[in-house]
Structure 1
């Protein structure tokens, strides 16, 4: 009877909706544009902040369909800053800690920013005009275009355009036509301040808030739009299940009609679905960290709430309980095909 205290499912086991994909506002080929635009020395300047992000193009695990699949396997928890989902009858956690481990981004608490860092002092020209001249509206696509003609830019402009693109055109994007925030433009006046900012927590918070705001009806649709960097959920999934990488690559998923298209490779999803139906798949419910992790020292949230069902789940994990499908019950029925 104690097992009923475990979190219940959003959708009943094996009756989850069969979706098409998660609509993401970022494109992974943004990384290629940055790498092609910057010199090796300039890349090393931003690598302490964005290094693991710059290496994502080497990982053949992109899939909007897989992201949708994982979101529909969620467990019902009241935690504000984490979700749990089930794969091959085992629970997997996605929280700020996991986000930091797979992205390498600084996920420490957001520091209070002095007004002088995000607003120009009286009599000082806003930094917007230094970077963008008389343009009143500047988007990620416009930054991409600038970087694709990087030889016409100074080294300082290339680096700062790249950093703004990675943050506001990639990790923290809210829409296809989102304007680069003026506060971020003013902050990058001091590049060191910009690079030391906890962009991991900034991106994760946006992503998690969007996930949490999606209703069951929205998740049951063929497509669901998620702001922020939902691709981190797929990266955590791959880290949690070593067998996934053995299924091989399926095909290239085009992100655009550009001739110089960044090859984004998908996993063989039919093989992933087969793994989900097996009982003997090794799953790390909470992915391991390296011996020394400097980017996720403090992953707490002052407004987090207690969830008794998650505490029960964590206790079961500590006890080494062997999970079964019957342990995660409940959920809406009738959505599956």
Structure 2
């Protein structure tokens, strides 16, 4: 059996250089905003284990290192496997699959779960139920915490808690822009918090991240000087720094680990 590795997307010594990488996943920004706005509701969400790892990363002072991410993107191998991508470091192949993604995030990564069971909702008379009845898809997180900030404080407690879940899901797990319309399917999910805990967030977030990696590798081939990375890219950074301790030590000032 040949011990030759698959080809690299970018040959050694020909890795593209960029001036800027924008990260859509903003953990610190979202948590600080709700600490000031809806602190009691945030405390409720923090006790839920479904996204507990996100809050741990924030408490541990997670810093984002675009250099680590870009370094690994330039070391990707050409492979065609479902739910896994491979990189190479010092001639050693490194796999970043759903299994590694789950180990870092704790998100549900069961690919056998059908999302169809999450599409039904029950009208409870609250704000989000009314949004679903309207189905016009014009609600954004940005407008809620700018134009309607004081109105939100008068909502029912259940609706305010759902807002925080939505913000974590959209702006951190899926790394969507706060000015983008909130997809109705995610409002449907948060109408029942048991469904939030069962939803395969890991699969959704991992696939989004992998698609973004593939898209940006294509852009790098075209000599782009900057790009935007979607998805929960912190997971890729943490995995890379743990898979190659040398990188972790070099970037300890950017990525402090306190627990």
Name the residue aligned to 1:16: 15
Q: Deviations over 1:99-121 (max 9, x none)?
A: 11111111112533456x42557
Consecutive unaligned residues of structure 2, counting only runs of 5 or more, are: none
2 CA distance for matches of 1:76 and 1:151?
50
TM-fit CA distance, 1:20: 2.7
How many residue pairs match? The answer is: 249
Name the residue aligned to 1:81: 83
CA contact (8 A) 2:88 2:94 kept: yes
Find the residue that maps to 1:3 and give its secondary structure. coil
The equivalent position to 1:186 in structure 2, one of 166, 185, 188, is 188
CA contact (8 A) 1:22 1:67 kept: no
Name the residue aligned to 2:99: 97
2 CA distance for matches of 1:143 and 1:166?
14
Find the residue that maps to 2:3 and give its secondary structure. helix
Name the residue aligned to 1:2: 2
CA contact (8 A) 1:126 1:186 kept: no
2 CA distance for matches of 1:146 and 1:96?
39
1:1-337 to structure 2, matched below 5 A, reads 2-4=2-4, 6-28=5-27, 29-34=29-34, 37-39=38-40, 42-46=44-48, 48-57=49-58, 58-109=60-111, 111-114=113-116, 117-120=118-121, 128-130=128-130, 136-142=137-143, 145=146, 152-175=154-177, 177-218=179-220, 220-247=223-250, 249-250=252-253, 266-267=254-255
CA contact (8 A) 1:140 1:177 kept: yes
1 CA distance for matches of 2:225 and 2:140?
28
2 CA distance for matches of 1:147 and 1:107?
35
TM, length-normalised to structure 2: 0.79
TM, length-normalised to structure 1: 0.62
Q: Deviations over 1:38-76 (max 9, x none)?
A: 437503542x10000111122444122321221111111
Superposition CA RMSD, Å: 3.4
User: Rg: which structure is higher?
Assistant: 1
2 CA distance for matches of 1:88 and 1:229?
26
CA contact (8 A) 1:127 1:186 kept: no
CA contact (8 A) 1:160 1:188 kept: yes
CA contact (8 A) 2:126 2:159 kept: no
Find the residue that maps to 2:44 and give its secondary structure. helix
Find the residue that maps to 1:83 and give its secondary structure. strand
Instruction: Please identify, of 156-165 and 36-45, the stretch whose mean Cα deviation from structure 2 is larger.
Output: 36-45
1 CA distance for matches of 2:229 and 2:248?
25
Q: Does the C-alpha gap of structure 1 residues 178 and 212 become closer, same or farther in structure 2, counting only changes over 3 Å?
A: same
TM-fit CA distance, 1:176: 5.5
Q: Deviations over 1:271-329 (max 9, x none)?
A: xxxxxxxxxxxxxxxxxxxxxxxxxxxxxxxxxxxxxxxxxxxxxxxxxxxxxxxxxxx
TM-fit CA distance, 1:238: 1.5
Consecutive unaligned residues of structure 1, counting only runs of 5 or more, are: 251-265, 269-337
Q: Deviations over 1:249-270 (max 9, x none)?
A: 54xxxxxxxxxxxxxxx259xx
Q: Which has the higher helix share?
A: 2
